[in-house]
Amino acid sequence: MDSYITAIGTAVPRYGFSQSQIASFMAEALQFDERNRRKLQTLYRLTRIDRRHSVLPDYGTSPGEYTFFPNTSDLEPFPTVGRRMEIYRKEALPLALAAIENLHQNGKTVQPTHLITVSCTGMYAPGLDIDLIEALNLPTTLHRTAINFMGCYGAFNALKTADAFVRADPSACVLVVCLELCTLHFQKKTDEDQLLSNALFADGAAAVLVEAQPNLNQPAPSFRMRTFFCDLWPDGKEDMGWIINDHGFEMTLTSAVPTVIQHGIGKALSRLLEHGGLAIEDITHYAMHPGGRKILEVIEQQLGIDSHENRFAYEVLRQYGNMSSATVLFVLKAIQKQLRSTPETGNILSCAFGPGLTLESMILEIIPATHPVQTTEVTDQIAANPAFIP
């Protein structure tokens, strides 16, 4: 029995800011002099990120107008974990519901039998899973699983879990929701690693349906989950971490991470291909988690691909930044969107990295839709319904 990703939905908060705006906020918050302000702006430009989104309006406002951070020159008293989790609990459900609504706009509406929630940026109980059951009027007997604190590769564990559910019960329909509010955890520190973390992360949510049959009647293709592979590189254990401290969740992301990935990814992805009975020539699309520009460049070097083949990851990075676990699903949706107008077959290679240093990877087989949407059809639907999301 196989399992298929039949629909993908995404959403970001209403507040969106250019990298230049966010850099100005950070420079003000860190009380940088003119020289360090210029250096910070340069760092933000080099990320290849144009824009990021947040549930907080503060990153685009001036001192004296903040609604979350204190309106003081040094942002003291700095928000506590409790205050940050208060905002998380308030904002998580609306953003998750927006991703699910977008999923329904891009696929069929179904009644899930299982719900998997993923997050590493907030926790509360009763949690997001129960809030979703109440908001969507889902059965109280729904099977619920929470995958927490796994970082950027959390979506892979959710998809593996969904795959197991469907293989065990062909009638299962699994709804996966990845919800990350990374910007709640801005840290007021000036070390290089923290400056880099502050330059990358953003808020976003993604929803996925996993079923035992492809949805051939929708405009977009389905993705058969062909094989998974996980590896752990302890040499990078100190280079990527995520801990709960008194003033938020603190990310460690050192400049050594690309080097650790460079040394291990070639062998790891060779084993993934071997497990799937495939060669690199069988891969037609790449859905890499855009953890950062240098990480994407290292992947390209090791796999012998160019930036065009990796373009979906770069485009998501440019438009949204790194939204932790939700990000790779944005990349898959971008691929799915392109394939709406072409009945193309092939395989997608996807991977993400996180604390440990952990690699999670998978191969998805593209199952074309029976009636793909042609370009003229998309134009007609937009004209008839401005809210249509292709």
What's the pLDDT band for 386 if we cut at 50, 70, 90?
Answer: very low
First-to-last alpha carbon distance for the chain, in angstroms, is 30
More confident residue, 196 or 237: 196
Averaged over 9-27, what is the pLDDT?
Answer: 96
What's the maximum distance between 2 C-alpha atoms anywhere in the chain?
A: 61
Residue 358 tokens read as 């952990």
Q: Which domains, ranges and CATH numbers included, belong to the chain?
A: 222-367 (3.40.47.10)
- pTM more than 0.85: yes
Residue 332: pLDDT over 90: yes
Q: Label each residue of 58-104 as H, E or C.
A: HHHCCCCCCCCCCCCCCCCCCCCHHHHHHHHHHHHHHHHHHHHHHHH
Q: According to the model, what pLDDT value does residue 38 have?
A: 95
More confident residue, 107 or 25: 25
- Cα-to-chain-centroid distance, residue 203: 9
Q: According to the model, what pLDDT value does residue 247 have?
A: 87
Q: According to the model, what pLDDT value does residue 372 have?
A: 52
Q: According to the model, what pLDDT value does residue 373 have?
A: 52
Q: Label each residue of 262-283 as H, E or C.
A: HHHHHHHHHHHHHHCCCCHHHC
What value does the mean pLDDT of the chain take? 90
Q: What percent of the chain has pLDDT over 90?
A: 72
Q: Which residues participate in catalysis according to the annotation? A: 152
Averaged over 310-338, what is the pLDDT?
Answer: 97
What's the pLDDT band for 255 if we cut at 50, 70, 90?
Answer: confident
What's the pLDDT band for 138 if we cut at 50, 70, 90?
Answer: very high
Q: According to the model, what pLDDT value does residue 385 have?
A: 36
What's the pLDDT band for 191 if we cut at 50, 70, 90?
Answer: confident
Q: According to the model, what pLDDT value does residue 108 have?
A: 64
Averaged over 165-173, what is the pLDDT?
Answer: 96
Residue 374: pLDDT over 60: no
What's the pLDDT band for 383 if we cut at 50, 70, 90?
Answer: very low
Distance CA 103, CA 389 (A): 10
Residue 381: pLDDT over 60: no
Q: According to the model, what pLDDT value does residue 147 have?
A: 97
Least confident span in 68-77, 203-212, 256-265: 256-265
Least confident span in 2-11, 98-107, 146-155, 299-308: 98-107
Distance CA 172, CA 67 (A): 43
Distance CA 79, CA 81 (A): 7
pLDDT tens figures, 342-371: 778 999 999 999 888 899 999 999 999 876
What's the pLDDT band for 243 if we cut at 50, 70, 90?
Answer: confident
What is the number of helices (H) and of strands (E) in the chain? 11, 13
